[in-house]
Amino acid sequence: MYVRHLQVTDFRSWAHADVAFEPGPSVLVGANGQGKTNLVEALGYVATLGSHRVATDAPLVRHGASRAIVRTAVVNAGRELLVELEVTPGRSNRARVNRAPVPRPRDVLGILRTVLFAPEDLALVRGDPGERRGFLDELLVLRAPRFAGVRGDYERVLKQRSALLKSAGVARRAGRRGGEGTGEAGDIRTLDVWDGHLARHGAELLAARLDLVADLAPHVGAAYAGVAPESRPASIAYRSSLGGALPEGYGQPGGPRADVATLEAALLDELGRVRPQELERGVCLVGPHRDELDLVLGEAPAKGYASHGESWSFALALRLGSFELLRADGAEPVLVLDDVFAELDRRRRRSLAGVALGAEQVLVTAAVPEDVPEELVGARYEVRDGEVRRV
C-alpha cells in the first residue's frame, strides 16, 4: 500500500499542509523544528489512532485551534480510499471514509498500515514495561484491527475492577478497625463478577499477544542479526503474570497456538489465589496489564545491560521485525523512518536502507540530505517556513 496524498489542517505546527506522494522512497528534508515529524506523525495517527510522541490528543491540535483534521488517500492493491479524521480533544473524534461518516474512529483502522521507527523508540528497550506492552498492542491492532475493541474492553474492566478492589480494601481495613457500615461482603460478590469479566477479556488479549510474540520473535532475531551482525543474538519472550500457570510453549515460535478458554480458566484461578494480596494492596495483580516483553541479548536482558548502540539496534530490530511480520501476513505497510539515520553508523544505515528499499513506500525525514543513504533519496521534499515543496 502507499499514501498518495496527505492533507492536514491545524495539526501540530501546521495551519495547513498538502503533500502528494508516490510509491517508493520519499525524503522530507528541513531544519530542526520545521514540522517534518509532525507530518509523519499525522500519518501514524491515521494508522493507529495514536501518536508515537504523546499519549493524548491535545498536543496534536495546533495552538489556538479547537480541532485538527487529517485527510489521507491510501492506495491498496490498486484501490484508493480517502480517510478523514477530525481530532477534537475532550470530545469524541470523528472519522469519514470516502467522505461518508463511519460510526467510530476505530472503523478506519486497517486502511493504512504504517511501521514507524523514530528516536522515541529507544524507550522500547530502555523504558518501562508499559512501553513494550504498548508496542505489542499497537502491532496487534495493525495486524487485526478488531483488537482495538478487545483492548478497550479489557482496559474498561480493569479500571472498574481496580476501583472496586480499592473500595473493598478500604471497607475491609475499616472493618478490622471496628468501623461502621463496611460494605465488604457486597463488594466481594461484585468482585467475583468482575473477575469473570477480567479473565474473559484478559484471556483474549493475552492469547493474541502470545501468538503475536511467537510469530514476531523469528523476524526480530533475523532483523537484529542483519543490523548488528557482530553483536550477540537478540531474542524476545513474553513474560505473563500467570507465571508457571501459563501452559508450556505458549508464546514460543513453533509452540502451540494460545487457547483462549484455557487462559481464561488459568486467569480466573490465579485471580482467586491472589485475592487477599489484591485486597490488601488495592491493585489488580494478575492480567495482561502486568505482563512484560523480555528483550534479551545473548543471555542478558537488554534493559540495563545493552550499550547505546545495541539498544538502538534492538529498537530498530523490533520495528523491522514488525514490518517483516506484516509483510509475511500479506499486508504491505508503509515504512516511516523519522530522523533516525543520523543516529546510526554506516553499517546500520546500509542495512536499514536495504530493508527500506523493499517497501512499497518508505517516507524518510532528515535535517540534512547527507544523513540519508543515497539509494533512498527518491522524491525529495523541502520543509521550510510552513510549506512543503517538492524539489
Ligand X SMILES: Nc1ncnc2c1ncn2[C@@H]1O[C@H](COP(=O)(O)OP(=O)(O)OP(=O)(O)O)[C@@H](O)[C@H]1O
Q: Which residues are annotated as a binding site for ATP?
A: 30-37
| Stretch of residues binding ligand X (CB under 6 A), selected from 30-38, 149-157, 297-305, 307-315 | 30-38
| Residues 160, 166: Cα–Cα separation, whole Å | 10
Q: For ligand X, how many residues bind (rule: CB under 6 A)?
A: 17
| Residues 327, 333: Cα–Cα separation, whole Å | 7
| Stretch of residues binding ligand X (CB under 6 A), selected from 32-40, 183-191, 256-264, 288-296 | 32-40
Residue among 20, 367, 377, 379 that touches ligand X (CB under 6 A): 367
CB of 59: closest distance to ligand X in angstroms? 5
| Residues 112, 336: Cα–Cα separation, whole Å | 12
Q: Does the protein bind ligand X through residue 177 (CB under 6 A)?
A: no
Q: Does the protein bind ligand X through residue 35 (CB under 6 A)?
A: yes
Q: Grid coordinates in use for 147?
A: 483488537
| Stretch of residues binding ligand X (CB under 6 A), selected from 27-35, 109-117, 314-322, 346-354 | 27-35
Q: Does the protein bind ligand X through residue 33 (CB under 6 A)?
A: yes
Going by the annotation, the residues of the binding site are 30-37
| Residues 123, 288: Cα–Cα separation, whole Å | 20
| Residues 239, 210: Cα–Cα separation, whole Å | 9
Residue among 36, 143, 219, 319 that touches ligand X (CB under 6 A): 36
| Residues 314, 320: Cα–Cα separation, whole Å | 10
Q: Grid coordinates in use for 69?
A: 483534521
Here the contacts of 228-231 (C-beta below 8 Å, separation 24 or greater) are 228/309, 228/310, 228/313, 228/317, 228/348, 231/297, 231/310, 231/313
CB of 58: closest distance to ligand X in angstroms? 8
Q: Does the protein bind ligand X through residue 298 (CB under 6 A)?
A: no
Strand order in the sheet with 379-384: 114-117, 334-338, 361-366, 24-29, 379-384, 387-390
| Residues 36, 17: Cα–Cα separation, whole Å | 11
Binding to ligand X, residues 2-21 (CB under 6 A): 12-13
Residue among 2, 19, 23, 30 that touches ligand X (CB under 6 A): 30
Q: Does the protein bind ligand X through residue 137 (CB under 6 A)?
A: no
Residue among 62, 133, 200, 348 that touches ligand X (CB under 6 A): 62
Binding to ligand X, residues 333-352 (CB under 6 A): 339
| Stretch of residues binding ligand X (CB under 6 A), selected from 25-33, 162-170, 270-278, 373-381 | 25-33
Nearest Cα residue to 302 out of 95, 166, 152, 121: 121
Site residues (vs ligand X, CB under 6 A): 12-13, 30, 32-38, 59, 61-63, 339, 365, 367
